[in-house]
Structure 1
Amino acid sequence: MTTTQFDAVIVGAGFGGMGAAIALNELGYHNLAILDREDDLGGTWHVNRYPGLTVDVPSTTYSYWFEPNPYWSRLYAPGAELKSYAEHVADKYDLRRYMRFNTVVDGARWDDETQRWLVTLAGGQTLQAQFLVLATGYLCQPKKPDIPGIDTFAGTVLHAQDWDDDYSLRGKRAAIIGTGSTGVQLIPKLAEDVADLTVYQRTPIWVMPKLDLSFGPRTQRIFARFPATQRFVRLSSDMFMDFMTTLAMWKFRQLRPINTIAAKIGALHRFLAIRDKELRRKLTPDYDFGCKRPTLSNVYYRTFTKPNVHLETGGIDRIEPDGIVGRDGTKRVVDTLVLATGFDVWESNLPAIEVIGREGRDLGKWWRENRFQAYEGMTVPLFPNMLTQASPYAWVGMSWFDTVETQMRHMRRLFGELQRRGATTFEVTEDANARFLDEMLRLLDDSVFRLGNCATSRSYWFNGRGESPLFRPTSVRSAVKAQERFPLTDYTMA
């Protein structure tokens, strides 16, 4: 068994992990290891390659503020451009030198004697690090549906998160399970190729009109030559996204009419696309807007009016080798099964690896027994020198980059104070953590999660207890200010 010493080990080579590495470099830490189980960088934008993949947040907002990309082809860029952007960031900031791919992390344990983290890799190697950053993201553990007989299906199974680019869908009889954000993007593309498509919907989703724009070569040249023009577009998209999220979700008690207006826009969008009342009824959510992640599409609803597309909402009884049997006994014979069933956020993702802190505290076990909680969405008592990015109350705004850059601000202030004091360890106090949790719970009392009708949403934003601790229920602006003002005495340093 070999041991290697690092300033920091970062688990995850997506945009979160790269943002953390950039912040650490700025603070003078250059002996880093970025570990990822995949064979390349980019996180979800490397893993996901399914047809129709795009961002569902404006690309101007879904990117680092400090690293604008003038070459987006559209306001909502296709997934391949996000992958290219990730590669550009890694190259510009010289992050590849830290990255180790095809590296599975088994777990991490704080060692009181050495005051360092011991990170164990599959195969037995152990890395030592002063700091540990968990950057695995919320959506890193795909969820396989628990349907009787699914393992007996004799045809081809395609997972949205493990797409087979070599498999042709042309002329196939296909079925897709899942109508979340991924399904909304994938279903219209499947319908273009297959001879017959059956969509199995458990919960309808709020689908809003997509006000997309093309950024042609001329616009890209203007953005590149005059960065202020793109900054203006970004500021507009940032403000709109933050404004709508805050009003429709977090200020539901005070501004319920705004949420109602959003729902009416979704209903009008559905009405204009579908004339069949019964079909429209099946595609209409019976929960409030904002309970479940909404998505954008101008073609999703129209896809269900095609003669080769069938919507099934009665549920699945079982899967047989040659097809799917509904609860009403109806069988659909298919040769291709597409799974767009999302991710397991709560059971195997928070945290994505075993993490043991001081006094033997198991992070996953502690969260499940004592509520999900993390101070400023980043640090946890009894876990010294550890930062967790995809954590309770971390997600701010609708863009993951809002979360990452908010956390980078926290890191700069926290590590700057650590260096100023000449200390080597930090740990958030129990009191500070409890105070922050109480504040988040108080703010949630005004949200659609608490006051809206969310019971039937089946949203991954809720855990098994009916709690909704993923989001920080504030505006992005408020979260940014908090990173500039949190009391440094909320941490003990030694």
Structure 2
Amino acid sequence: MSTAPAQAAHSRSVEQPDFEVVVIGAGFGGIGMGVELRKAGIHNFLIIDKNSDIGGTWQANTYPGVAVDIPSVYYSFSYEPPKVWSRMFAPGAEVKQYADQVVDKYGLRPRILLNTKVVGGEWDETNHLWRGKLDTGQEVSSRFVVGAVGGLEVPKMPEIEGIDSFGGKIVHTAQWDHDYDYTGKRIAVIGTGATALQLIPEMADIAAQLTVFQRRPIWVAPKPDFPIPAIAKDLMVNVGPLRRALRAAVTLGIDFGISGVGVFHSRIPGLVKLAQRGGGAMYRAQLPDDPELAQRLTPEYAPGCKRPSVSNRYLRTFTKDHVELVTDPIKKITKTGIVTADGVLRKADVLVCATGFRVMDKGYTPPYPLIGRDGLDLGEFWDRHHYQAYQGVTIPKFPNLFMITGPYGFAAGSYLAMIECTSRHAARAIKEARRRGATAVEIKQEPHDAYYAQCMRRGSKTMWLSDACEGSNTYYVNYQGDPAAIRPSTHLEMWWGNKHFPFNHYSFTQLPGRTGVVHTGELDEVRPASFTNDDLAEFFRTRRLSVRT
């Protein structure tokens, strides 16, 4: 019997990828992933982002009043203290500066391609690589792909009759128009979530009339915000033990106050009821002259059901003569304003949609088709079988694919703390694949299913699926009725699970005939701060790499 076919298969030519790793998204998720790749000794990577600058959420969200809603010391990477933050709760512009600080410190700019959108990706089983499709019509291939598209990525416009007929200015908070003059206008705001409570006091300062349409009220805690003295900032930047102690204290406080209460609600239901009564008393104390207004602003669901928020101005804004709180449902939008169910038309010049984002929503997470083994589409799989991922990072049948903000990956608290955990998970797996000479690494079905079962078991007992959160419409719970946006664990468990997962939870395989991973060119030459699609095409051509149009 001839052995020629077997020999030919053994010696067949295998396509080399353009990059070892492609990271989708240049927000903090992509930035954190780039840092972890650097630390792991992996330098042949490309970070792609559809926007004109880095920063993700903090590049897109520039509405008046935007700021972090947890203490700044916790909203940063543990390995890189922020040098620019001036307040206990850093304003958005300073968070964007911090993103620039990290990118420059770790030399990531030469690896970032802006103004380029990934519109799809497909696993190539023959060559063990991913083929990414760009909105330019080009294709970029890589051994590994990391999805670092954040949860607050796709703005959600309200689905209200007649919105397209409005004759004035319409703006979503994530697409703020700074060229428009809002001063002296009749401004209508739809939404009273975590974004709206930052924006509404700012709009009240400049509007001739401000009308706020509230579907559900929000819990707002006092904001212990103050300028950080220069000496304190220097100490936090230069004295590592002090900074770590402060971060640990904040982490423990959030773990107990948010994660602990939310996850272990069934064991301490009395604490949640006590917090709700205390919150109602606080609202009445802040609005002593108008108990009816206090009642309309007080949620009927428990604190913690929705994203926790802080403000010292929000509640009192509604006591101003030119500010109106409307709780009647919106019936339709006309050319001149908004009509509520009682038939009243409230005229407006500006319509501000503070209506959030599509989180774990069908067709939007991921916001592009990803095709794994056997033609399996990730979005369709999640839609049919519910959102799931091992440690929030990997899914069976999607080898060499990692996520930074995957389902059941975020223990409520700091997104940057979660990014550290999940990006280290991805870098650890990629580095181990390198060490073994593997061309594919894939989470095994059994450990994946065990993690998902644990999340479902715990999730069913969390506060977010209890009667305490009925009517809250929290984005923590998706359209399938699952709390997929939240990992039902403490921060410590999230950190430990991502840092110490057993390698035997993964399968490491190698293409037939390969004796090790061949790493493509290292891109070590100095490149401009960003490069265009034409530059990328030329870069590919000079390296004899594939550009498909």
Same fold at TM > 0.5: yes
Measured in 1, the distance between the counterparts of 2:413 and 2:141 equals: 35
Measured in 2, the distance between the counterparts of 1:482 and 1:225 equals: 30
Mapped pair 1:306 → 2:320? yes
Q: 2:225 aligns with which of 200, 212, 226?
A: 212
Partner of 1:279: 293
What secondary structure does 1:161 align onto?
helix
Partner of 2:307: 293
Q: 1:493 aligns with which of 508, 520, 538?
A: 508
Measured in 1, the distance between the counterparts of 2:317 and 2:94 equals: 25
Alpha-carbon offset, residue 68 of structure 1: 1.2
Deviations 1:399-447 (A, max 9, x none): 1012111113323432343233221210111112111111111222331
Alpha-carbon offset, residue 18 of structure 1: 0.9
Mapped pair 1:17 → 2:30? yes
Gaps of at least 5 residues in structure 1 are none
Partner of 2:171: 158
Mapped pair 1:340 → 2:361? no
Partner of 1:79: 92
Work out whether residues 260 and 490 of structure 2, in 8 Å CA contact, stay in contact via their aligned partners in 1: no
Matches within 5 A, 1:94-113: 94-113=107-126
Amino acid at match of 2:406: S
Matches within 5 A, 1:190-339: 190-275=203-288, 276-339=290-353
Which stretch of the first structure deviates more once superposed, 33-42 or 285-294?
Answer: 285-294
Percent pairwise identity: 39
Measured in 1, the distance between the counterparts of 2:108 and 2:83 equals: 21
Deviations 1:428-480 (A, max 9, x none): 11112111111111222331023343221111111122211111110010111
Work out whether residues 350 and 391 of structure 1, in 8 Å CA contact, stay in contact via their aligned partners in 2: no
Measured in 1, the distance between the counterparts of 2:157 and 2:397 equals: 34
Measured in 1, the distance between the counterparts of 2:304 and 2:233 equals: 33
Matches within 5 A, 1:336-485: 336-345=350-359, 346-485=361-500
Partner of 2:515: none
Q: 1:264 to 1:208 in 2, by over 3 A?
A: farther
Work out whether residues 131 and 141 of structure 2, in 8 Å CA contact, stay in contact via their aligned partners in 1: yes
What secondary structure does 1:415 align onto?
helix
Measured in 2, the distance between the counterparts of 1:368 and 1:347 equals: 7
Amino acid at match of 1:168: D
Alpha-carbon offset, residue 70 of structure 1: 4.4
Measured in 1, the distance between the counterparts of 2:41 and 2:240 equals: 28
Amino acid at match of 1:87: D
Alpha-carbon offset, residue 75 of structure 1: 1.1
Alpha-carbon offset, residue 395 of structure 1: 1.1
Q: 1:188 aligns with which of 182, 185, 201?
A: 201
What secondary structure does 1:270 align onto?
helix
Alpha-carbon offset, residue 232 of structure 1: 2.7
What secondary structure does 1:438 align onto?
helix
Work out whether residues 400 and 442 of structure 2, in 8 Å CA contact, stay in contact via their aligned partners in 1: yes
Amino acid at match of 1:424: T
Which stretch of the first structure deviates more once superposed, 126-135 or 442-451?
Answer: 442-451
Measured in 1, the distance between the counterparts of 2:115 and 2:428 equals: 33
Deviations 1:53-97 (A, max 9, x none): 010111100110111114421111100000000001000001111
Deviations 1:267-316 (A, max 9, x none): 23311221322211211111122221121111100001111100111111
Mapped pair 1:171 → 2:184? yes
Work out whether residues 141 and 348 of structure 1, in 8 Å CA contact, stay in contact via their aligned partners in 2: no
Work out whether residues 62 and 401 of structure 1, in 8 Å CA contact, stay in contact via their aligned partners in 2: yes
Partner of 2:524: none
Partner of 1:32: 45
What secondary structure does 1:457 align onto?
coil
Mapped pair 1:42 → 2:46? no
Alpha-carbon offset, residue 220 of structure 1: 2.1
Q: 2:103 aligns with which of 90, 115, 120?
A: 90
Structure with the greater alpha carbon radius of gyration: 2
What secondary structure does 1:253 align onto?
helix
Measured in 1, the distance between the counterparts of 2:41 and 2:172 equals: 41
Alpha-carbon offset, residue 4 of structure 1: 7.0
TM value normalised by structure 1: 0.96
Q: 1:171 to 1:484 in 2, by over 3 A?
A: closer
Measured in 2, the distance between the counterparts of 1:357 and 1:479 equals: 26
Amino acid at match of 1:482: G
Work out whether residues 404 and 423 of structure 2, in 8 Å CA contact, stay in contact via their aligned partners in 1: no
Work out whether residues 395 and 470 of structure 1, in 8 Å CA contact, stay in contact via their aligned partners in 2: yes
Which stretch of the first structure deviates more once superposed, 395-404 or 54-63?
Answer: 395-404
Which stretch of the first structure deviates more once superposed, 399-408 or 225-234?
Answer: 225-234
Between the two proteins, the alignment pairs up a number of residues equal to 492
Alpha-carbon offset, residue 263 of structure 1: 2.4
Work out whether residues 4 and 126 of structure 1, in 8 Å CA contact, stay in contact via their aligned partners in 2: no
Measured in 1, the distance between the counterparts of 2:151 and 2:173 equals: 16
Which stretch of the first structure deviates more once superposed, 469-478 or 251-260?
Answer: 251-260
Q: 2:133 aligns with which of 120, 138, 153?
A: 120
Measured in 1, the distance between the counterparts of 2:23 and 2:499 equals: 24
Measured in 2, the distance between the counterparts of 1:289 and 1:398 equals: 15
Work out whether residues 381 and 430 of structure 1, in 8 Å CA contact, stay in contact via their aligned partners in 2: yes
Deviations 1:109-166 (A, max 9, x none): 0011111000000121000100001001001000111111111111111221111112
Work out whether residues 74 and 212 of structure 1, in 8 Å CA contact, stay in contact via their aligned partners in 2: yes
Which stretch of the first structure deviates more once superposed, 402-411 or 318-327?
Answer: 402-411
Measured in 2, the distance between the counterparts of 1:89 and 1:53 equals: 21
What secondary structure does 2:391 align onto?
coil
Deviations 1:361-400 (A, max 9, x none): 0000000001110011000010000001221101123210
Work out whether residues 247 and 259 of structure 1, in 8 Å CA contact, stay in contact via their aligned partners in 2: no
Work out whether residues 251 and 413 of structure 2, in 8 Å CA contact, stay in contact via their aligned partners in 1: no
Partner of 1:137: 150
Alpha-carbon offset, residue 202 of structure 1: 0.7
What secondary structure does 1:260 align onto?
helix
Which stretch of the first structure deviates more once superposed, 389-398 or 371-380?
Answer: 389-398
Which stretch of the first structure deviates more once superposed, 13-22 or 232-241?
Answer: 232-241
What secondary structure does 1:459 align onto?
coil
Measured in 2, the distance between the counterparts of 1:296 and 1:359 equals: 47
Q: 1:218 to 1:157 in 2, by over 3 A?
A: same
Alpha-carbon offset, residue 108 of structure 1: 0.3
What secondary structure does 2:339 align onto?
strand
